[in-house]
Structure 1
Amino acid sequence: MAELNPAIIPLSLYIHMPWCVRKCPYCDFNSHAVPNGELSLDLEQEYLQALVEDFKTQIHFAQGRKIHSIFIGGGTPSLISANGYQWLFSHLKKIIPFEQDCEITLEANPGTVEHDPFADYLKAGINRLSLGVQSFDTEHLKRLGRIHNNDDAIFAIQHAKEAGFQRINVDLMHGLPEQTLEQALYDLKLAVENGATHISWYQLTIEPNTVFFRTQPILPIDDVLESIQEQGETYLKASGFINYEVSAWRKELPSTHNLNYWEFGDYLAIGAGAHGKVTQIDGVYRFQKTRLPKDYLAKTPAEHLQYKKIEKADLPFEFMMNALRLNEGVSAELYAERTGLALKDLEKCLSSLRQRQLLVEDSNRLSCTEYGHGFLNSVLEEFL
């Protein structure tokens, strides 16, 4: 393995806010119902202080880099006040500076945006919103356990635009219990017509350790799912959206933070259950933080759990699993820069995939063909 140069690799930050009003039956994320139904100011302040202490333990990972992008996920990050975020950012910047144009995304649920007006979050430094709409159909929302309805979802997008947000992602799921083709397409139509500039559109999957896994809902048959996918893609393209990643559609710029994931960049991680990836001179490492909020707070600053070097043999798959999700793939030079490995060592595999028309015929680029994207999992298995 060649010596890596972390200084040239973008560095992002993931912040996890673990609380939500109510756990949804399909959710397998590290989220926990807020104590007593409301997040107290004392608990908010205690957690924010713990995040700062956590961040201090990661200074040495920066190696002179500034924070390139921030994503605040959950849980429901909009349960935290705008003043809380303003305080948090001011303290984090003192530890590792932010880039001047740092993208800061906040996940917000339409049912909890009443904590503070969106304008206050904008003033706090957040410049991109990701709204967890999932569906505009009130009955589907009930089945998904969401606390908002159709009107709340539309109001949240309009409210965000009026507050001055120019970058608004809407999360939508399809293949919902008993969902029809017409209902799935109508969800997309409402997102587009109400001003979403970016849409994350993905099929509901039933994950272990969820209510839906224990009590299986009735899902659309395969023929309906295929029609939803095909007609949904046609509608989004006709509406001026570009599909730049498996489930990501944009009218605006791509998500800087997510691009850094897919291009195998580095990201620090603070908060209960947060996962990080960092490059050192001798290799690439992953780590995670204590999962339960009470344990995370009890161990301030939280230690890096499972801080582990990615084995050399696993790096090709790890890199390709991210990079090939992008429709245009990545520059071939990125492979050596981000893994420390020589791309020529994969030549036999790459040549085979190109001959089968699964990868594009371009030695300067690593990218699936349109045909290859339909068999992405099979392509990735070639790198195991």
Structure 2
Amino acid sequence: MIPIKPVGVPVGPTRTIDAAAGVAAQYLQPGALNLTALPPLALYVHWPWCVRKCPYCDFNSHEAKGEVPEKEYLDALRADLEMALPLIWGRKIHTVFIGGGTPSLMSAAGLDRLLSDLRTLLPLDAEAEITMEANPGTFEAEKFRSYRASGINRLSIGIQSFNGRHLQALGRIHDEGEARRAVEIALANFDNFNLDLMYALPEQTLEEARTDLATAMSYQPPHLSLYHLTMEPNTVFAKYPPNLPDDDTSADMQDLIAEMTGAAGYRHYEVSAYAQPGRQAKHNLNYWQFGDYLGIGAGAHSKLSFPHRVLRQARYKQPKSYMEQVANGTPVQEEHEIGRADMGFEFMLNALRLQDGFAPNLFTERTGLALNVIEKQLNEAEGKGLIYRDHMVIRPTELGHRFLNDLQQIFLG
């Protein structure tokens, strides 16, 4: 958290940067909110290409057709960031997350260039967590040693399962052996990494879920992300639903996860996140605590705070369109301010995902609103036994976690 003070606008060498500086100056004008401090700022970088689109995936990812235009895309990322600088001038970057898509398709030289550009243009915190998503099937030991040498200090590996049958059902490009090899390469080169696993997979049994989790924990990863498979709109699975475990079996899997992770010393600190002591994902914590983030790259989203407003942006999704729009000086496709009526819900939508909840004063710091604007909803949630609150903390109860969607809905409107 840094105190708010007037933000200096740099004089850019191009018309597009000058225009961005003019827009940034407008955001400093008086408005509906009164933020007394700016939240921590993170950077998200999107790499949009993957080898093959998985049938459950609704992310902005595109199958690589032929050679990926790596140089052109890296040029666009740098230009995009340069144009965005006036919006974040003078603010330190605390975490960086390179997501996708499959960023580990990037060459070692390309990744080195990207991180060099970020260091040139941004004041990165000396202890910044710099995470890169990687998928088995793209792991080469030498390349990942180069990634580490370039400055990546945390990996997030999309294992999803160690079971070959389930990997095939999920449309993954790797097999069980490649999954294990990916973790072994990570262990050899990184002391901080996350393993993504999914459960309630097509025709998965409780014992198979147990074996997957036991295999993952045998590597003692600092962090685990455990996701219930869901049928997202506009995916192949939504159109052709597979045979999934019933609700009772899914609930048994959730109970199993709680038992096994707890026994192994993992803290369940967010809906899908489990960490060894002190190994929470700093970048994701910033999201859930309603911190700020600048997103660059195709389809990337941003949330940026100013003294009297909070801004959301979305960039063009299609890689080709994104690169063309960057060249035109207009990478942002959608932009809007979060209205007062929506601010409380947006904060609570994120903060209620955390097991520890939040300090009451954080609501005012991050929204610019007094806590009493959601007093009615807090009373309702407390009356239903969904939250606990005192002068130090507001957090979901065990019942609130179990019925999180219902709890979040209370704050809608």
| Length-normalised TM-score, structure 2 | 0.89
- Measure, in 2, the Cα distance between the counterparts of 1:269 and 1:102: 16
1:67-121 deviations in whole A, cap 9, x for unaligned?
Answer: 1101111100000122212211222222221111111100000111138532111
- Measure, in 2, the Cα distance between the counterparts of 1:162 and 1:95: 31
Aligned residues: 378
- Measure, in 1, the Cα distance between the counterparts of 2:61 and 2:33: 39
Q: Which residue of 2 aligns with 1:3?
A: 34
How far is the alpha carbon of 1:372 from its aligned partner? 1.3
| Length-normalised TM-score, structure 1 | 0.95
Residue type at the aligned position of 2:303:
K
Distance 1:302 1:104, change over 3 A: farther
Q: Which residue of 1 aligns with 2:213?
A: 188
The answer to which of 56-65 and 278-287 deviates more is 56-65
Q: Which residue of 1 aligns with 2:267?
A: 242
Counterpart selection for 1:90 from 111, 116, 126: 116
Counterpart selection for 2:392 from 364, 368, 382: 364
Structure 1 residue 30 corresponds to structure 2 residue 30 = no
Instruction: Give 1:181-260 correspondences, 5 Å limit.
Output: 181-251=206-276, 252-260=278-286
- Measure, in 2, the Cα distance between the counterparts of 1:375 and 1:313: 24
Residue type at the aligned position of 2:43:
L
CA contact (8 A) 1:107 1:130 kept: yes
Counterpart selection for 1:306 from 334, 349, 357: 334
How far is the alpha carbon of 1:238 from its aligned partner? 0.5
How far is the alpha carbon of 1:9 from its aligned partner? 1.0
CA contact (8 A) 1:171 1:199 kept: yes
The answer to which of 224-233 and 350-359 deviates more is 350-359
How far is the alpha carbon of 1:61 from its aligned partner? 2.0
- Measure, in 2, the Cα distance between the counterparts of 1:5 and 1:60: 20
Distance 1:257 1:320, change over 3 A: same
Q: Which residue of 2 aligns with 1:51?
A: 77
Gaps of 5+ in 1: none
- Measure, in 2, the Cα distance between the counterparts of 1:364 and 1:194: 37
CA contact (8 A) 1:79 1:115 kept: no
Counterpart selection for 2:159 from 133, 137, 140: 133
Counterpart selection for 2:185 from 159, 170, 191: 159
Deviation above 4 Å: which 4+ runs of structure 1?
A: none
How far is the alpha carbon of 1:299 from its aligned partner? 1.6
Counterpart selection for 1:108 from 134, 158, 180: 134
CA contact (8 A) 1:158 1:195 kept: no
| Corresponding residue SS for 1:69 | strand
1:288-344 deviations in whole A, cap 9, x for unaligned?
Answer: 110000111112244222110011101111000000100001111110111000002
Q: Which residue of 2 aligns with 1:272?
A: 298
- Measure, in 2, the Cα distance between the counterparts of 1:213 and 1:378: 24
Structure 1 residue 15 corresponds to structure 2 residue 45 = yes
Q: Which residue of 2 aligns with 1:295?
A: 321
Q: Which residue of 2 aligns with 1:348?
A: 376
Residue type at the aligned position of 2:406:
S
Residue type at the aligned position of 1:350:
L
- Measure, in 1, the Cα distance between the counterparts of 2:317 and 2:374: 37
CA contact (8 A) 2:136 2:178 kept: yes
CA contact (8 A) 1:78 1:115 kept: no
How far is the alpha carbon of 1:2 from its aligned partner? 4.2
How far is the alpha carbon of 1:383 from its aligned partner? 1.0
- Measure, in 2, the Cα distance between the counterparts of 1:296 and 1:116: 31
- Measure, in 1, the Cα distance between the counterparts of 2:160 and 2:381: 36
1:120-169 deviations in whole A, cap 9, x for unaligned?
Answer: 11111100000000000011101111011111111111111112x11110
1:212-240 deviations in whole A, cap 9, x for unaligned?
Answer: 11111100111111111101210111011
Counterpart selection for 1:122 from 125, 143, 148: 148
How far is the alpha carbon of 1:14 from its aligned partner? 0.6
